[in-house]
Structure 1
Amino acid sequence: MKSQWKMFYMCCSVVSVGVQVSVQADESPLFVEVTRGALLDTSVSTFTSESVAQKPGSDMAELLRSVNGVSGTRMGGRAIDPIIRGQQATQLNVLLDGAYLHGGCPNRMDPPTTYASGDSYDLVTLFKGSQTVLYGSGGSGGTLVLSRHKPVFNEQGYAATVTGVARSNGEGGTLSADVATGNDQGYFRFKGEVADMDSYEDGNGDIVRSAYRSRAAALIVGAQLGENTDLTMSYDRNEERDVLFAGANMDSPESNADIYRVKLEHRFDSGTIQQMKAELFQSNVDHLMDSYSLRDKVAGMYAPSSSDTRGGRVIFDGWLGAHQASFGADYQSNTRNGLVYSYPANMPMGQLWPDVTIEQVGVFGEVNRTLSARNRVKLGLRYDYITADVNNENDVFMMNQTAATLYGATPEQQREYNIAGFTSWQHQLNQNYQLEMTASRSVRTADATERYMAKSNWVGNPWLAPEKHHQLEWVLSNTDKSPWSLSAYYNRIDDYILRYRDSSIERYRNVEAEIYGVEFEHQHRLNAQWLLNSSLSYTLGNNLDTGEPLSRISPLTARLQALYQSGQWGAGITSSLVASQSEVCLASSDCAGLDVTPTSGYGLVDLFADYRLSPAVTLAAGIDNVFDKTYRVHESRDDVFDPTPLQVNEPGRSVWMKLSGKF
């Protein structure tokens, strides 16, 4: 087994420039050979669980912040909220092994990636932009698919991986295990993780409220019902305890998530249809946040909430003549409830979600055809019928208010009939150069918070129109011995859902907007031991109604990396350079946006190394933020209701060590 942590860094840049990587269960190659002379899919990045999990992170989104064009907001040590090309929250589709999960906090203390550690899933597939219609409606910013596969057993009929991580800054770590037993006819698999971290220090040596405790476990059972039929059932339990948030006026003493899944897969021996997959899921989140129990206060607020999602899909894969096709239907229903109470009076002060249900029924199809040795086209089309209802809009809370009075009228059921699709053309200019062009339309419905939040200082808009994203993307790539990729994209958005501040009240309205940018990635192998990677991303966003910038847009970011591998040893250095961000929409200005302040640029250096102690055991170590810089990610969160808000600083210097064994 070669050095595994390096695979994560390489996948971030190499796969997205069109390199096809095949990683076996027992091998993670350091230097990936480039597939030449063939059309490549440049729209998708894939990562194995081993490669993603090697660099320690609090959750999946923190790990993916190393991918070019991907960022993430920070409120504390846990629950990084991913951003892809300037889009976030429900502009992204996140599937946890086929299941949708919507968090229990309207302020996104628990986005879906909170409930997914690096070791929880076997494969991560990342679509940037609107490149597929197979994974639900919306997805204008991108789609993140986390999946699990049937385990590969040794001769004794079992497979086991145990990993331990310790970190100095925050004085804590994680312990995870993945144990499976079975054969071709069936298997049992258990995944578990325990994580405990104290609050970290920033580069100034100041303590940042960021401690958390997390427990996660999953039981997966697989059975072969017939020669061509497989059944998989799974149950996940995630528990978050005493999670502190420097970027909010509340913490989360407790949050629980339960996910149930049933999957049936059948392969046909002959005929047009080659494969059928049917999936059902149920995810339940119970969340509690308050402003006193973890802050040594005798009074404050608390807010219990729930978010229950159920759904499923059926999809068929096959050939229609010379066309490779996938088509099917899906369903999703999310119900959310939440109230805010004063403490210790226990009086209702507002509604997070007044018994809100949003249902989506969709039908979809994709067709892929190779026109010639140099040309390939891909088409996708999707239709969604969406309804949004609220039931407790007339319940009375503080000062005889109701949700309906805050909205200005009693909302009726909202219905939407949304059509989305894309067309992509790949053309190989010659043996080494490939051009890809994609045009797409995606439609994102307003989420429960944007529609129905009902507090005196935060009010939703039940009559929001859905966002219509019209995107163009061009990718020029070179798959020679030193592969590179240059991407440019433009996204014109009708009815962009803008969150803004109106006389100290957070509100939502539709505006016209645009988001555009460029990305560049390059890899160069110096010799058999040294590999160089570089990447750059730049995004801009504008409110076309006012001419002001959109809030929380990533600044120009570049990364340079050198990797070394020789025998049992590996080492590397990564330098990240981030420009200042002055194109802002400040909450304190006439723009009334969500940016706290312009942010300064910064440079970081990370070091890492590993040593293969035996064929099964690897020891890795590293130093993040070697020079103990004080910095903050521009998009990171603040307490939007604080009169003097401050963004959350990132951790200062941190030494980490990771020991993993695979048996």
Structure 2
Amino acid sequence: MLYLRSAVVGALVVAGVHVAAAQDDHSPAEQSLVEQPMATLGHIVVTAAAPDSALTFTIDPRLPRQPVPASDGADYLKTIAGFTAVRNGGTNGDPVLRGMFGSRLNLLTNDGSMPGACPGRMDNTLSYVSPQTYDLLSVVKGPQTVLWGPGASAGTVRFERTPEPFEHAGLRAHANVLSGSYDRNDQMLDLTAGARYGYARLTANHSQADDYEDGNGNVVPSRWKKWNADVAFGWTPGEDTLLEFSIGGGDGEARYAGRSMDGSQFERNSYAVRFERRNPGGLLTEVTASAFLNDADHVMDNYSLRDPNPMSSMPMPRASNVDRRTYGGRVATTWGLANLDWTVGLDAQASRHRRRSATGRGMYASLPWTTDAEFSNVGAFGELTWRFAGKNRVIAGARGDRAEVTDERQIGAGMMAMPNPTAGVTRREILRGGFLRFEQDLNDMPVVWFAGIGHAERMPDYWELFSADRGPAGAMNAFTGIGPEKTTQLDLGIQYRGEHLDAWASAYAGRIDDYILFSYMRGGMMGTTSRVDSIDARTRGGEAGVEYRLRHHWTLGGTLAYAWGENRDANGALAQMPPLETRVSLAYDNAQWSFGALLRAVDRQSRVAIDQGNVVGRDLGPAAGFVVVSLNGGYHLSSHVQITAGIDNLLDRNYREHLNLAGSADFGYPADPVRIAEPGRSAWVRMNLTFK
């Protein structure tokens, strides 16, 4: 893949130079290549996302944001109130919504799934996502849709590239370059050429950074680099018909202060096809079908980006290579009749996980692969919207899934592993889900409110079934001892949209039966070991936001997010719950110049369950609160070109997030767990270019 990576970087640099050289005024020849009208660039810097409703968010992830534009999908999601991430250094944090983690979040890219391969989620789904190469990020909080797959008890996240139809022959381009502290540098190109009957689109990016320094000037091992390239070919025989094929790849590496190994390879290969037909006739208003194949080939080792620690449990060079191939598809039809719309469809997905490992530099590559798990899921779904009595709506949905998983391990998990008692055993589960929501637009007021209840049943994922050293007491292992997780949640929300004021609030209360919880035991000759159990849990919390547009181009805004969880079996705190967080922003934007300030304040978290959590992180103890101030500014050079810049952590605070990994002894961190510190003061500047 080296030649492809070099080609991507070269193309980005060349394209950036050519696009940057373009002017507002074009010759007749140039005008034939650039679609009219010309684009007008949007917001300068995004500091907090505003919802379409109190439940649903739709964002353009290509917009610059503060803190420094995201290197992965989890980082960008933190722009939305309620999201945070389990931090482990510079990149590839694991996304968390309202304290819920892993496959409780349905994470999709172009409606395909890429769950990653690492048993410790070093390469979680969003580590393969470069947000700025997508057109749309959509989020639905809670179990309030059934259209995009099973589970999704915490919510549904979709990164999408939208179709690119053309009325006339033309060229569209979007590019940006970024430079920042700690040798951060990014380049991105999105180039589409097309005509009435089709288009071709290239999307590519390269991004990297060195180790950062915390607020005390200490170096935190965190350097990374990554690249992605995707090509799509669309056929548009009519304005209501699309057939698109796409192929893509990528790779990268990342050093982690909080892990005993680094990621020396994040190779991705993706293939997809989709078909869309609108207004085919009669009651049928739309038909969509898609299929995908995603392959993640991940290598982690203790020698490529660090030196082996002779005092650790891995004193010699060692590497582990894991691979996960996931493929599936979806067919949906949408129907309409008067005030009634409904969508029905089928989806299916299968996944194979395999691994190999060896002591010695590069020795793993000579070994054969061993398959350890196979998954499959087939589901049927239906969702209906009924509009009645003017401004009232009822939205309801239901789905059923048949999930299957086979344990292919010959040896069980853990450091003292014995022959696997469930080798070759297949588990099958029937999963049910659904929701019912009422929405109303109030008369004579720009207010919408809703109340909804949803239920989701989730099959335990790869990490819950195969990564823990032990299962619940009395079970042979986690594979036999852990059953489906069942979430029932009430969601409430209200939103006001006025001439000068927008405000929204949402709240939730959930009951989770058979919640899957990891517990960690430290010390002894076996080091830290893990056990997975099923408990009963309760959750509640909410988010709120406000934006007030003052006179003379000034805007004042803020968001608030709070999550609370209880382990009902232990009568105590549910682990890995984020603390209370607020963001306050002040911005000036006169369509040419912009300035902004962001204050992020996070409360201390004293309600913890030490050594409990998930497959990635655990509560390490109470965490201190902190306040971080950041500044940004921007200037529109033209309708096509904008310059944005920012200073993050202006006061150079030394702080640590509550959801965090403990620093590895390989880098000199103490044996008693210490959270990894966040970057100190850092600056960045970005040039954004758009032609349509």
TM-score by length of 2: 0.85
In the TM superposition, residue 428 of structure 1 has moved relative to its aligned partner by 3.0
In the TM superposition, residue 323 of structure 1 has moved relative to its aligned partner by 1.5
Equivalent in the alignment of 1:217: 229
Equivalent in the alignment of 2:11: none
- Of residues 464-473 and 631-640 in structure 1, the stretch that sits farther from structure 2 once superposed is 631-640
Equivalent in the alignment of 1:364: 381
In the TM superposition, residue 631 of structure 1 has moved relative to its aligned partner by 1.0
Equivalent in the alignment of 1:424: 437
- Of residues 386-395 and 117-126 in structure 1, the stretch that sits farther from structure 2 once superposed is 386-395
Equivalent in the alignment of 1:62: 75
Q: Does residue 32 of structure 2 align to residue 4 of structure 1?
A: no
Equivalent in the alignment of 1:620: 644
Q: For 2:488 and 2:470, how far apart are their aligned partners in 1?
A: 35
In the TM superposition, residue 528 of structure 1 has moved relative to its aligned partner by 3.7
In the TM superposition, residue 438 of structure 1 has moved relative to its aligned partner by 0.7
Counterpart residue identity of residue 524, structure 1: Y
Task: Kindly provide the CA deviation profile for residues 31-61 of structure 1, in whole angstroms up to 9, marking residues without a partner as x.
Answer: xxxxxxxxxxx32100113336685121122
Q: For 1:138 and 1:416, how far apart are their aligned partners in 2?
A: 13
For the 8 Å contact 2:45–2:632, the answer to whether it is kept is no
- Given candidates 444, 464, 487, the residue that maps to 2:458 is 444
- Of residues 149-158 and 224-233 in structure 1, the stretch that sits farther from structure 2 once superposed is 149-158
Equivalent in the alignment of 1:553: 577
In the TM superposition, residue 153 of structure 1 has moved relative to its aligned partner by 6.0
- Given candidates 393, 407, 424, the residue that maps to 1:390 is 407
Q: 1:610–1:108: structure 2 CA closer, same or farther, 3 Å change rule?
A: same
Instruction: Please list every run of 5 or more consecutive structure 1 residues that lacks an aligned counterpart in the other structure.
Output: 19-41
For the 8 Å contact 2:574–2:609, the answer to whether it is kept is yes
- Given candidates 491, 497, 518, the residue that maps to 1:499 is 518
In the TM superposition, residue 74 of structure 1 has moved relative to its aligned partner by 1.5
Q: 1:475–1:128: structure 2 CA closer, same or farther, 3 Å change rule?
A: same
Equivalent in the alignment of 1:647: 675
Counterpart residue identity of residue 488, structure 2: H
Equivalent in the alignment of 2:160: 147
Task: Kindly provide the CA deviation profile for residues 265-320 of structure 1, in whole angstroms up to 9, marking residues without a partner as x.
Answer: 12234211111111000000101101233212271432110011000000111114
Equivalent in the alignment of 2:144: 131
Equivalent in the alignment of 1:286: 297
Equivalent in the alignment of 1:474: 492
- Given candidates 337, 350, 364, the residue that maps to 1:333 is 350
Counterpart residue identity of residue 110, structure 1: D
- Given candidates 411, 415, 419, the residue that maps to 1:402 is 419
Q: 1:640–1:356: structure 2 CA closer, same or farther, 3 Å change rule?
A: farther
The 5 A counterparts of 1:157-196 are 157-168=170-181, 170-196=182-208
Q: Does residue 548 of structure 2 align to residue 536 of structure 1?
A: no
Q: For 2:143 and 2:96, how far apart are their aligned partners in 1?
A: 14
Q: For 2:113 and 2:364, how far apart are their aligned partners in 1?
A: 33
Equivalent in the alignment of 1:463: 481
Equivalent in the alignment of 2:57: 45
Equivalent in the alignment of 1:115: 128
In the TM superposition, residue 233 of structure 1 has moved relative to its aligned partner by 0.6
Counterpart residue identity of residue 271, structure 1: G
TM-score by length of 1: 0.89
For the 8 Å contact 2:228–2:248, the answer to whether it is kept is yes
Counterpart residue identity of residue 579, structure 1: D
Counterpart residue identity of residue 293, structure 1: S
For the 8 Å contact 1:353–1:453, the answer to whether it is kept is no
Task: Kindly provide the CA deviation profile for residues 472-528 of structure 1, in whole angstroms up to 9, marking residues without a partner as x.
Answer: 011133223312122210010000001112464211111000111021111111114
Q: 1:231–1:597: structure 2 CA closer, same or farther, 3 Å change rule?
A: same
Q: For 1:396 and 1:130, how far apart are their aligned partners in 2?
A: 32
Q: For 1:345 and 1:662, how far apart are their aligned partners in 2?
A: 43
Task: Kindly provide the CA deviation profile for residues 345-385 of structure 1, in whole angstroms up to 9, marking residues without a partner as x.
Answer: 9799xx99952011110000000011122311100000000
Counterpart secondary structure, 1:219: strand
Q: Does residue 622 of structure 2 align to residue 598 of structure 1?
A: yes
In the TM superposition, residue 226 of structure 1 has moved relative to its aligned partner by 4.8
Counterpart residue identity of residue 372, structure 2: D
Q: For 1:554 and 1:395, how far apart are their aligned partners in 2?
A: 33
Equivalent in the alignment of 2:687: 659
Counterpart residue identity of residue 625, structure 2: G
Q: For 1:640 and 1:339, how far apart are their aligned partners in 2?
A: 24
Q: 1:588–1:229: structure 2 CA closer, same or farther, 3 Å change rule?
A: closer
Equivalent in the alignment of 2:449: 435
Q: For 2:644 and 2:60, how far apart are their aligned partners in 1?
A: 17
- Given candidates 209, 229, 242, the residue that maps to 2:241 is 229
For the 8 Å contact 1:354–1:452, the answer to whether it is kept is no
Q: 1:69–1:547: structure 2 CA closer, same or farther, 3 Å change rule?
A: same
Q: For 1:396 and 1:635, how far apart are their aligned partners in 2?
A: 26
Q: Does residue 586 of structure 2 align to residue 562 of structure 1?
A: yes
Q: For 2:505 and 2:190, how far apart are their aligned partners in 1?
A: 38
For the 8 Å contact 2:166–2:198, the answer to whether it is kept is no
Q: For 1:344 and 1:269, how far apart are their aligned partners in 2?
A: 58
Coordinate RMSD, CA, aligned? 2.8
Counterpart secondary structure, 2:212: coil
In the TM superposition, residue 549 of structure 1 has moved relative to its aligned partner by 1.1
In the TM superposition, residue 544 of structure 1 has moved relative to its aligned partner by 0.5
For the 8 Å contact 2:151–2:458, the answer to whether it is kept is yes
Q: For 2:198 and 2:612, how far apart are their aligned partners in 1?
A: 60
Q: How many residues align?
A: 627
Q: 1:594–1:51: structure 2 CA closer, same or farther, 3 Å change rule?
A: same
* Identity fraction in percent: 30
Q: For 1:239 and 1:457, how far apart are their aligned partners in 2?
A: 34
Q: For 1:277 and 1:115, how far apart are their aligned partners in 2?
A: 25
Task: Kindly provide the CA deviation profile for residues 164-210 of structure 1, in whole angstroms up to 9, marking residues without a partner as x.
Answer: 00011x21210111111111211111011111211111111111111
For the 8 Å contact 1:219–1:236, the answer to whether it is kept is yes
Q: For 1:365 and 1:640, how far apart are their aligned partners in 2?
A: 47
Counterpart residue identity of residue 191, structure 1: T
Q: Does residue 112 of structure 2 align to residue 99 of structure 1?
A: yes
